[in-house]
Structure 1
Amino acid sequence: MTHDPRTALLSAALTAAERGWPVFPLRPGDKRPALHGEARCPHTGPCTEGHRKWEQRATTNPDRIRAAWSTGPYNIAIATGPAGLVVVDLDVPKNNTKDAPSGATTFQALCERAGQPMPTTYTVRTPSGGGHLYFTAPPGARLPNTAGALGPRIDTRAGGGYVVAPTSTTPTGTYDVLDNAPAAPLPQWLLSALAPRSRPAPARFAPITVSASRYADAAFNNEVRAVATAAEGTRNATLLRAARALGRLVASGDLPRAQVEEALSWAAATNGGQSQRYYDDVITRALNWSIAHNPQGRTA
């Protein structure tokens, strides 16, 4: 008798839905959504009244789940926002950094620092040897996805994110349940660490006081304001673009590099969900690139 992987994946998708966790299909053996993008939307079925993205199409409806997984061995994604989940992703070091601590080791240290034990909650082992810790978010909480904000090799998935569910497979292995306990409430210390900080208004940043042309002054303040007010999902791209744009004025001698770095770092910190180290690295690399590619004169 030939084993049909669709059966196991369908069963796992239905199990997640029974827990109240909306699911949607990922490409077989992959972590990317199997749903069509906006450019190829047929505007039929769920998209009759307009394109619906994966978070909107995630479902707990067993009939829709059976219909989707009857057509192929799709991996399973859980939409963490609609599921009311915060999933802590504990990664392992890459092959060339074997001496570095794993995400699990760092998370254990964070628990000890908070004076709390390692939480007992629904836990999934990832193919790489890392882990996903599932927690229920407090009612009304709006928590963002993060990358490295808690520590090295620790990411989180909440509103606007998804995780690969157990039974799904990739070329490196299978996602397996390690602890089938109910998802525990998000610990207060972890909620405090992940809650978005109040941010000062962008207008608080004073215009540059160094000697600069009117063009450079306007470009500087426009780019800083753009980074400080960028919408979620566009922040990183906005910061990269701003640093490259202002890097051209650094190369031409119209703006001092230190002033640009300080201003962009401030703007990113007031509006970001990533670590300050991450933003500063983006700024440094973007400025270096722009200066190297614009060694002389101003580029309009």
Structure 2
Amino acid sequence: MNRHLLFAALDAAERGWAVLPLRPGDKRPALHGEDVCPGIGDCAGGHRKWEERATIDPDRIRRAWGDLPFNVGIATGPSDLVVVDLDMPKRKSSTDTPNGVTTFTALCERAGQAVPTTRAVRTASGGVHLYFTAPPGVRLGNTAGRLGKRIDTRAWGGYVVAPGSLTPTGAYAVLNDAPPAPLPDWLRDRLTARQASRALMAAPSAVRASRYAAAALNAETASVRQAPEGERNATLLRAARALGRFIAWGDLPREQVEEALQWAGEQAGLSPRSCEATIRSGLNWSIARNGQRRAA
């Protein structure tokens, strides 16, 4: 088992893809968290998260997989990959619920495009991972359902389980061993257009916002995007609390603030789910305390 998984990790690294150990039989990283960081080795200068510690160094890989049958994760951002995750419906779903492959095929048809031919991996649940090389000059983050139901994407801030890994529900296996194709322009446009619209949400012509509120929205989203590791979630929470008052006062619509902060948080490297929870908490806290505008 160790040799099989070691070979899977080395194979990915030889392709230039940075790998990290996942817990044996699981999909979660096996690396230590910030709260138990020993402050030595890679973390001698401060805690480094899994994306920073992913590696293509064969010696490090041999040491990491030398004793335990770790599953293999591929850090998509450092590997210059964008992986489209076509998931299966949940077990209790109706039998006629479309899966991610069906939804993605329909998405391609509506766009007048053929289903891309690229490296494909079958997931343990029966879904499919489509591997693409990341577009130059664009830093894409993770998405969940943005392209359609049961279609997620993994880029910066994300990882995928590599073929050869095993879980209680099954194995990850290569379906098409072709080299990853470049991310199609039409898919790139769908992902980057949403980012651009979020970045421009404070345009006065688009919303009923005071100049001060629009400036605050731009400033807070910029601070979240530029937050250093270890401070990203706290910065996002502070930004949500700072902007919640403008929602309470009627200067900014809540959906605009949520979209802008979600984009900024994902750009900083936070997961979509973590961003949503932090933003909701911060906005609710602020709105509850700023029901009326204070007089100057």
> What TM-score results when the alignment is normalised by the length of structure 1?
0.74
Correspondence for 2:64: 68
Looking at structure 1, the residues matched to 235 and 106 of structure 2 have their Cα atoms a distance apart, in angstroms, of 32
Task: Tell me, yes or no, if the aligned pair for 1:200 and 1:270 is still in contact at 8 Å.
Answer: no
Q: Give the secondary-structure state (helix, strand or coil) at the position aligned to 2:31.
A: coil
Distance 1:18 1:30, change over 3 A: same
Distance 1:82 1:267, change over 3 A: closer
Matching of residues 142-153 of structure 1 within 5 Å: 142-153=139-150
Q: Deviations over 1:83-131 (max 9, x none)?
A: 1110000011112323321111111112112222211211111111111
Matching of residues 1-300 of structure 1 within 5 Å: 5-98=1-94, 99-195=96-192, 196-198=195-197, 199-200=199-200, 202=202, 204=204, 207=209, 226=220, 230-231=224-225, 238=236, 242=240, 261=254, 264=257, 267=260, 271=264
> What TM-score results when the alignment is normalised by the length of structure 2?
0.75
Q: Give the secondary-structure state (helix, strand or coil) at the position aligned to 1:77.
A: strand
Distance 1:72 1:100, change over 3 A: same
Looking at structure 2, the residues matched to 40 and 84 of structure 1 have their Cα atoms a distance apart, in angstroms, of 30
Looking at structure 2, the residues matched to 71 and 136 of structure 1 have their Cα atoms a distance apart, in angstroms, of 32
The residue type paired with residue 37 of structure 1 is: G
Q: Give the secondary-structure state (helix, strand or coil) at the position aligned to 2:130.
A: strand
Distance 1:259 1:65, change over 3 A: closer
Looking at structure 2, the residues matched to 36 and 235 of structure 1 have their Cα atoms a distance apart, in angstroms, of 19
Looking at structure 1, the residues matched to 43 and 240 of structure 2 have their Cα atoms a distance apart, in angstroms, of 35
Distance 1:239 1:103, change over 3 A: farther
Larger Cα-atom Rg: 1
Distance 1:223 1:184, change over 3 A: closer
Query: What is the CA distance between 1:246 and its match in structure 2?
Result: 5.5
What is the root-mean-square deviation in Å for CA atoms of aligned residues?
A: 4.1
Distance 1:265 1:67, change over 3 A: closer
Looking at structure 2, the residues matched to 286 and 152 of structure 1 have their Cα atoms a distance apart, in angstroms, of 26
Distance 1:37 1:238, change over 3 A: same
Looking at structure 2, the residues matched to 136 and 84 of structure 1 have their Cα atoms a distance apart, in angstroms, of 6
Query: What is the CA distance between 1:193 and its match in structure 2?
Result: 1.2
Query: What is the CA distance between 1:78 and its match in structure 2?
Result: 0.4
Q: Deviations over 1:111-170 (max 9, x none)?
A: 112222211211111111111000111333311111111111100011121111011112
Looking at structure 1, the residues matched to 130 and 182 of structure 2 have their Cα atoms a distance apart, in angstroms, of 11
Query: What is the CA distance between 1:200 and its match in structure 2?
Result: 2.0
Distance 1:12 1:187, change over 3 A: same
Task: Tell me, yes or no, if the aligned pair for 2:84 and 2:154 is still in contact at 8 Å.
Answer: yes
Q: Deviations over 1:180-216 (max 9, x none)?
A: 11111111111111223152264746557xxxxxxxx
- Counting matched residue pairs gives 275
Q: Give the secondary-structure state (helix, strand or coil) at the position aligned to 1:197.
A: helix
Consecutive unaligned residues in structure 1, runs of 5 or more: 209-216
Looking at structure 1, the residues matched to 134 and 236 of structure 2 have their Cα atoms a distance apart, in angstroms, of 29
List structure 1 runs of 4+ shifted beyond 6 angstroms. 221-225
Consecutive unaligned residues in structure 2, runs of 5 or more: 268-272
Looking at structure 1, the residues matched to 226 and 126 of structure 2 have their Cα atoms a distance apart, in angstroms, of 30
Looking at structure 1, the residues matched to 157 and 9 of structure 2 have their Cα atoms a distance apart, in angstroms, of 19
Identity %: 54
The residue type paired with residue 168 of structure 1 is: S
Query: What is the CA distance between 1:171 and its match in structure 2?
Result: 1.7
The residue type paired with residue 196 of structure 2 is: R
Looking at structure 2, the residues matched to 224 and 21 of structure 1 have their Cα atoms a distance apart, in angstroms, of 35
Distance 1:232 1:135, change over 3 A: farther
The residue type paired with residue 53 of structure 1 is: K
